[in-house]
Amino acid sequence: MSGIGFIVLGVLGTYPAFAQKDIYSADYLMPGCRDFIRAGTGNTHLGGYCVDLVLAVARDAYAPRICLPREVTDEQIVKVVVQYIDSQPARLHEDFVLLAMEALRKTWPCGR
């Protein structure tokens, strides 16, 4: 290996790997969800993304085991998801949509 190769390997080895954030994880999305519940403080783009994801899961025809009451509001739906995920901080690395689906199915199962 040439001297340049050793230098490149030495430089790369001294820096930690550049970790990319998992934009699908609960850890990434929860700040936006919490901001939405706090009435718009913080990152409104991330809050809107959170709400869109939660409502898509809640009203998805392909998720038949979620039966929302007629009178439930969007904010109540998001609060359920936030409370559920916040109660399990060890799972923040997991996929947000799957956790949201789990939260909604446990809160509003069909055939109760």
CATH number, domain containing residue 51: 1.10.890
Is 1 contained in some domain?
no
Higher pLDDT, 75 or 23: 75
Q: What is the DSSP letter of 24?
A: T
Residue-by-residue DSSP string for 39-104: TS-S-HHHHHHHHHHHHHHHT-TT-TTB---TT--HHHHHHHHHHHHHT-GGGTTSBHHHHHHHHH
pLDDT confidence of 35, banded at 50, 70, 90? confident
Q: What pLDDT is recorded for position 79?
A: 95
Is 8 contained in some domain?
no
Strand, helix or coil at 5?
helix
Domain boundaries, position 35:
20-107
pLDDT confidence of 99, banded at 50, 70, 90? very high
Is 14 contained in some domain?
no
Q: Which residue shows structure tokens 């009451």?
A: 69
Is 84 contained in some domain?
yes
Q: What pLDDT is recorded for position 109?
A: 92
Residue 41 has pLDDT above 60, yes or no: no
Number of domains in the chain: 1
| Total-model pTM | 0.76
Residue 68 CB neighbour total at 10 angstroms: 14
